């Protein structure tokens, strides 16, 4: 654990806890809009807030800048070490997961993975996306109602990740189960699930090792074959890195995308005019995806730790402070966007605005284009099929921590 003692700052500027910042517990809003009160604070001019763990940063300009500031690092081992996990299969695996790495090791691995995870690799998945989502949609459309999380969102991304990596299509249920288990390693209750998580890592590693051996003998048109072939200045990915990258795709690319799809469907079910417009003007699909990702973000708070004292808006944030960059709130910053709390798929975004839902800087989401393509294919098919989309009861929501979205989303439409 590298969170340092924060009480020995040498700066004369007041420390953040002495500055009377508004307190967030954790976000304080309703289940469907957990960041509502923080957005209200931002609209009133607040820039920083105090959280039970440290400081939250609200403004677009600050979040965007701090994501690129080398004086802050990513979450590293903290999620595990703060729960007393300092060794073992999961701990070792996380040492090779890009999101938890920093510095030169991160740069090297990211460069190698990016060489294989290209726009071409995403483009060739278009037909799989269309077929997979069309099949799921076809099963529910005639009924006029569904529970969208289970029926439309949950298994869609896992099919696509399997197709991306090169896993035979019949084996996706195995990966779905492993993904669900391994995703629990992002929670604050890892210790009680550690045995199951490590067992799932062992099983997926055994499966993928077999796949790697096959692809070494007989390369195909898939990410795994390309990752095996990737080389830069004589460097290649080791077998252990290949396993970690597959693991990472599964974790980073499933829960995020299915929650973001659930959030998009909720947004449209509660904004009938925008859904109708999208049904009439399919050319707005890409803009609609951008706007729903901005409007409500599955990843609205990005954890960072300060490596040295930082002064921001008249307060000192000492080295070792846990800083939450509220990217989802910053996407609603009225100093950069007009009418930020309106969902408007025809919105003209100002030149200086880059969506923060995928992060920014060295850890910017590697799968952003894949996620966008998945959401675009889904909405392109759903908008004309689910006419008069509306809620069919109260949704249930996940806790606003880590990856957020609906747990249950009852929807209805005209048949």
The verdict on 99 binding ligand HEM (CB under 6 A) reads: yes
Q: Nearest-CB residue to ligand HEM?
A: 367
- Of 19-27, 39-47, 180-188, 246-254, which segment contacts ligand HEM by CB under 6 A? 246-254
Instruction: Indicate which single residue of 363, 380, 389, 405 sits in contact with ligand HEM (rule: CB under 6 A).
Output: 363
Question: Closest distance between ligand HEM and the C-beta of residue 377, in Å?
Answer: 13
- Burial label for 78, CB within 10 Å (0-12, 13-18, 19+), is middle
Rounded CA-CA distance 372/255 in Å is: 14
Size of the site for ligand HEM (CB under 6 A): 24
Query: Which residue, 323 or 383, has its beta carbon nearer to ligand HEM?
Result: 323
Helices marked H in 270-412: 272-280, 285-295, 327-330, 368-385
CA 142 to mean position of chain CA atoms = 32
Question: Closest distance between ligand HEM and the C-beta of residue 179, in Å?
Answer: 11
The verdict on 98 binding ligand HEM (CB under 6 A) reads: yes
Instruction: Indicate which single residue of 6, 34, 57, 74 sits in contact with ligand HEM (rule: CB under 6 A).
Output: 74
Rounded CA-CA distance 181/114 in Å is: 26
CA 247 to mean position of chain CA atoms = 15
Query: Which residue, 9 or 212, has its beta carbon nearer to ligand HEM?
Result: 212
The verdict on 265 binding ligand HEM (CB under 6 A) reads: no
The SS3 of residue 316 is: strand
The verdict on 395 binding ligand HEM (CB under 6 A) reads: no
Instruction: Indicate which single residue of 42, 194, 315, 370 sits in contact with ligand HEM (rule: CB under 6 A).
Output: 370
Cβ contacts of residue 57 below 8 Å, gap of 6+? 47, 48, 63, 66, 312, 323, 324, 325, 326, 330
At 289, list the tokens.
């995806």
- Of 16-24, 137-145, 336-344, 367-375, which segment contacts ligand HEM by CB under 6 A? 367-375
The verdict on 402 binding ligand HEM (CB under 6 A) reads: no
Question: Closest distance between ligand HEM and the C-beta of residue 393, in Å?
Answer: 25
Residues 197-224 as b/e (b if ≥16 CB within 10 A, e otherwise) read bbebbeebbebbeebbeebeeeeeebbb
Question: Closest distance between ligand HEM and the C-beta of residue 298, in Å?
Answer: 5
Pairing type for strands 145-147 and 410-412 reads antiparallel
The verdict on 260 binding ligand HEM (CB under 6 A) reads: yes
Instruction: Tell which positions 291-350 bind ligand HEM, by CB under 6 A.
Output: 298-299, 302
The verdict on 153 binding ligand HEM (CB under 6 A) reads: no
CA 170 to mean position of chain CA atoms = 26
CB 391 within 8 A of CB 367: no
Question: Which residues share a beta bridge with 146?
Answer: 411
Query: Which residue, 50 or 260, has its beta carbon nearer to ligand HEM?
Result: 260
The verdict on 381 binding ligand HEM (CB under 6 A) reads: no
Whole-Å CA distances, 194 to 2, 207, 370, 403: 22, 20, 30, 20
Instruction: Indicate which single residue of 366, 373, 381, 383 sits in contact with ligand HEM (rule: CB under 6 A).
Output: 366
Query: Which residue, 160 or 197, has its beta carbon nearer to ligand HEM?
Result: 160
Give contact residues for ligand HEM (rule: CB under 6 A).
Answer: 74, 98-99, 110, 161, 248-249, 252-253, 256-257, 260, 298-299, 302, 357-359, 363, 365-367, 370-371
């Amino acid at each position: 654990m590298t969170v340092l003692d924060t009480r020995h700052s040498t700066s004369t500027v007041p420390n953040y806890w002495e500055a009377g910042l508004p307190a967030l517990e954790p976000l304080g809003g309703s289940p469907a809009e957990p960041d509502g009160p923080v957005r209200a604070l931002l609209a009133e001019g607040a820039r920083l807030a105090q959280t039970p763990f440290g400081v939250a940063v609200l403004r677009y300009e600050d979040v965007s800048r701090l994501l690129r500031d080398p004086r802050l690092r990513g979450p590293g081992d903290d999620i595990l070490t703060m729960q007393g996990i300092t060794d073992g299969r999961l701990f070792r695996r996380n040492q090779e997961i890009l999101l938890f790495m920093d510095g030169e090791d991160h740069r090297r691995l990211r460069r190698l993975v990016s060489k294989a995870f290209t726009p071409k690799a995403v483009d060739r998945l278009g037909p799989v996306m269309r077929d997979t989502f069309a099949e799921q949609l076809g099963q529910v459309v005639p009924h006029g109602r569904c529970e969208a999380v289970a029926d439309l969102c949950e298994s869609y991304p896992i099919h696509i990740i399997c197709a991306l990596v090169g896993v035979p299509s019949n084996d996706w249920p195995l990966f779905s189960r492993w993904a669900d288990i391994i995703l629990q390693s992002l929670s604050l209750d890892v210790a009680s699930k550690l045995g199951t998580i490590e067992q799932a890592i062992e099983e997926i590693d055994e499966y993928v090792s077999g796949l790697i051996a096959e692809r070494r003998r007989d390369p195909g048109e898939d990410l795994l074959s390309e990752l095996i072939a990737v080389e830069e200045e004589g460097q290649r990915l080791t077998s252990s890195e290949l396993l970690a990258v597959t693991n990472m795709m599964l974790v980073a690319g499933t829960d995020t995308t299915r929650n973001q799809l659930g959030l998009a469907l909720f947004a449209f079910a509660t904004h009938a005019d925008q859904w109708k417009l999208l049904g009439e003007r399919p050319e707005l699909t890409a803009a609609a995806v951008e706007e729903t990702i901005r409007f409500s973000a599955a990843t609205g708070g990005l954890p960072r730790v300060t490596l040295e004292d930082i002064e921001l808006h008249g307060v000192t944030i000492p080295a070792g402070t846990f800083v939450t960059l509220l990217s989802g709130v910053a996407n609603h910053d009225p100093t950069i966007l007009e009418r930020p709390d309106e969902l408007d798929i025809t919105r003209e975004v100002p030149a200086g605005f880059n969506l923060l839902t995928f992060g920014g800087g060295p850890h910017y989401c590697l799968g952003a284009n894949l996620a966008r393509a998945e959401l675009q294919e889904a909405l392109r098919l759903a908008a004309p099929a689910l006419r008069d989309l509306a809620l069919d009861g109260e949704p249930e929501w996940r806790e606003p921590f880590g990856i957020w979205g609906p747990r249950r989303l009852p929807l209805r439409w005209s048949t």
